[in-house]
Amino acid sequence: MKPLQIRLTTLTILVLATALFRVIPHWYNFTPIAAMALFGAASFERKWLGLAVPLAAMLISDALIGFHSNMGAVYGSFGLTWLLGLWALQRPTAGRIAAASITSSVLFFLITNFAVWYGSTFYPQTAAGLMTCYVGGLAFYNGTSFFLNGLLGDLFFSAVLFGGYYLLQQRYLVLRPVRA
C-alpha cells in the first residue's frame, strides 16, 4: 500500500470511528460534528475528501439516529466549519485548533437557532423573537446548556482527533504528510 493510501485509510477510519460517538448515548449536543469538519479540512491531502469523508460519516450516523426538519442548517454549519478549517488550519497548532473549535461552536449555535426561529410559530418573527430563541437555545434541553455542551464536545473531539492523529504520526512516519 502506498503512503498516500495509508494516510487516507487511517484518516477515514478515524473520522468514521469518531462519528460512532453520535449514535451511542451522550450528553445533548456533545458531538464530534465540528471536530470532524475541522479535522477533515486540515488533515486530508485531497481537500475534497476532507469534506466528503466526514460528510459521509455524518450522513450514515444521521440515517441511524434520524433526520429532522433543521438538517439543512446543521449541514450548512458543517460546510462553513469545513471552510473555516481550510482557512484557519493550514498549519494546525493547538491554539488554532482551539480557536477554530470555539468559532465553529458559535457558528453552529447561531445558524441552527436562526433556523429554529425562522418561520417558527413559537417565536415571533421579530428581532426580539430571534433573541428569545437564542436565549432559549442556551438552555435548550432539561436545563442543560446546549451551547456549553456543544462547545465542550467540539473542543474534546478536536483534541481527540488532532491529538490522536499527531501521536500516530509520531509513531508511524508514513502518516506524516509530504510538504512541498
> What is the percent of the chain with per-residue pLDDT over 70, rounded to a whole number?
96
C-alpha cell recorded at residue 165: 492523529
C-alpha cell recorded at residue 76: 450548512
- pLDDT bin (cut points 50, 70, 90) of residue 180 is low
pTM, rounded to two decimals:
0.90
pLDDT at 112: 92
- C-alpha dist (Å) from residue 48 to 7, 53, 74, 103: 15, 9, 19, 22
pLDDT at 38: 97
The average pLDDT across 4-28 equals 88
134-152 confidence digits (pLDDT tens): 988 887 655 567 778 889 9
155-165 confidence digits (pLDDT tens): 999 999 999 99
- Distance between CA 54 and CA 173 in Å, rounded? 24
- In the chain, what is the straight-line distance between the N-terminal and C-terminal CA atoms, in Å? 22
> What are the structural domains of the chain?
3-174 (1.10.1760)
